[in-house]
Amino acid sequence: MARQLYELVGARDLRFSPFCWRARLALAHKGLEAERIPCRFTDKDRIAFSGQEKVPVLVDGDEIVSDSWAIACYLEDAYPDRPALFGGANARGIARFVNTWADTRLAPALVRLVMPSVVANHLDPADHDYFVSTREQRLGKTVAELRAERPEHLQAALAELMPLRQLLTQQEWVNGETPGYADYSTVAMLQWQRLVEGDELLADERRIREWRDALVEQVP
Ligand SMILES: N[C@@H](CCC(=O)N[C@@H](CS)C(=O)NCC(=O)O)C(=O)O
């Protein structure tokens, strides 16, 4: 296949990366298929051709695009006749705000919750030491500390969901009348959390769960 998506893989082939989910959701929205190429955290040589060290990486013919936001913009611009991810320059700007909120508020809250489960259950053994040392350094906490603090991290993550919770009582999708990239950049984070540790976080959030499930169901 001329189109390939390099994506993170964990133990038992679990593909939990939120950034890779964004790319998969964007491809599905455009009705485009891609061969999914698994890549562990430490498989840096597999994606060296992209000139950077993170997944997702999309290869589309001669084009090589890394970073989930850049992939969404590339797909929107390269496939204008397919369903719109944004729907215009101003809408792209607002979707970027949502993407930035998900990156800077939601993801940091969720990572404190999911990290102990990722380490205990979902890493390929080859990635264990690299993942633990880089994440403990980044978060300034050990895995054991994060595990012990779970109740407070659960409350903090629920607090970050407030704008989403409120918006979804007022409209069907974050994007408005139909799903768009603003939904995908957000739901990818909650899909990551769900795949790694289940539904405790959203146990009392039926509307958010239904919105999430409707979106991720579209992905082949
Ligand atoms: N800003 C990037 C972030 C991508 C990212 O952090 N990917 C993680 C997987 S979830 C990664 O490849 N990490 C490699 C590493 O930590 O060495 C995006 O939006 O795609």
pLDDT at 1: 66
Same domain for 146 and 73: no
Domain boundary among 53, 78, 103: 78
- Closest alpha carbon to 105 in 152, 55, 163: 163
Contacts of 98 (CB under 8 A, 6+ apart): 174, 182, 185, 186
**Local mean pLDDT, 10-residue blocks, the chain (220 residues):** 94 97 98 97 97 98 98 98 96 98 98 97 96 98 98 98 98 97 98 97 98 96
Report the SS3 class of residue 116: helix
Domain boundary among 78, 102, 133: 78
Count how many domains the chain has: 2
Mutate to test the pocket of ligand 1, among 24, 43, 54 (most ligand atoms within 8 A of CB): 54
Domain that holds residue 16: 3-78
Which residue lies with its CA nearest to atom 14 of ligand 1? 54
Domain boundary among 48, 78, 108: 78
Output phi, psi for 174, to 5 deg.
-60, -40
Q: Give the CATH number, domain containing residue 176.
A: 1.20.1050.10
**What is the Å distance from ligand 1's center to 54 Cα?**
4
